[in-house]
């Protein structure tokens, strides 16, 4: 793609990006987090709180695809034999179903099961990389950094769930690797609205200590 610079209105200040060097990274928009009967629900959460993120993500995806921007999807989950699942993660808390247990959408948070898959509205297109990650951050124990470097990407638009867990961890990891991370708040969600709001505040505080915060409308305006 030829270099095309656009200006995105954001906090704490606007940011210019080269569309050839930006990637939209959609974090863990999986049935396991968004639908009843999955990992998020097993942890005791009201998964309906995440539903409002789907339409803004879908609009942003459409805009990014129309401009030929790199789109990458991630999925949190583990191998069926759980060899990549830390015992401390498996034993954590008192969920109604643990990772690997059979649930209504198959085994909880296991690769290849229906619950592990991305929600139909945001399904990856052929050719869009899908990163299977065992941790909360998308860089940990994955080839995401390599894929981004091979494409010359320097800026990430990070969407998905949940704001203060996998989105935040990925933004922190990306920021430390030198990527400029832009977070559209309406494309992210949490089971805890206060954590969502504070998670966004943390990113943009101190002059943008981890990145920039904006919304899908302002990004789509920049892409138009």
Show which residues are catalytic. Answer: 28, 133, 166
162 contacts 46 by C-beta, under 8 angstroms: no
**How many other β-carbons are positioned within 10 Å of the β-carbon of residue 160?**
26
φ and ψ of 76, to 5 deg:
-85, 135
CA–CA separation, 102 vs 38, rounded Å? 10
Q: Of 15 and 122, which CB lies nearer to ligand TIU in the complex structure?
A: 122
Is 43 a binder of ligand TIU (CB under 6 A)? yes
Is 49 a binder of ligand TIU (CB under 6 A)? no
| Sites for ligand TIU among residues 112-141 (CB under 6 A) | 136
| Sites for ligand TIU among residues 136-165 (CB under 6 A) | 136, 161-162, 165
CA–CA separation, 40 vs 76, rounded Å? 12
Q: Of 33 and 179, which CB lies nearer to ligand TIU in the complex structure?
A: 33
φ and ψ of 21, to 5 deg:
-120, 15
| Sites for ligand TIU among residues 169-208 (CB under 6 A) | 191
By CB under 6 A, name the binding residues for ligand TIU: 28, 33, 43, 76, 136, 161-162, 165-166, 191
């Amino acid at each position: 793609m030829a270099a095309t610079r656009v200006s995105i209105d954001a906090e704490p200040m606007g940011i210019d990006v080269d569309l050839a060097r930006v990637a939209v990274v959609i974090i863990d928009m999986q049935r396991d987090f968004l639908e009843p009967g999955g990992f998020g629900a097993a942890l005791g959460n009201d998964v309906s709180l995440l539903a409002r993120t789907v339409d803004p993500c879908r609009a942003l995806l459409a805009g990014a695809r129309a401009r030929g921007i790199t789109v990458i999807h991630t999925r949190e989950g583990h191998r069926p034999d759980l060899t990549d699942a830390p015992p401390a993660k498996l034993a954590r808390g008192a969920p109604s179903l643990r990772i690997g247990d059979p649930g209504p959408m198959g085994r909880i948070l296991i690769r290849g099961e229906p619950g592990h898959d991305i929600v139909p509205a945001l399904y990856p297109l052929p050719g869009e990389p899908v990163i299977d990650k065992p941790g909360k951050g998308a860089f940990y124990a994955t080839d995401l950094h390599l894929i981004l470097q091979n494409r010359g990407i320097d800026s990430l638009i990070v969407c998905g769930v949940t704001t203060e867990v996998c989105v935040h961890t990925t933004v922190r990891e990306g920021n430390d690797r030198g990527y400029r991370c832009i977070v559209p708040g309406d494309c992210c969600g949490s089971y805890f609205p206060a954590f969502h709001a504070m998670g966004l505040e943390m990113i943009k505080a101190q002059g943008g200590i981890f990145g920039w915060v904006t919304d899908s409308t302002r990004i789509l305006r920049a892409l138009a």
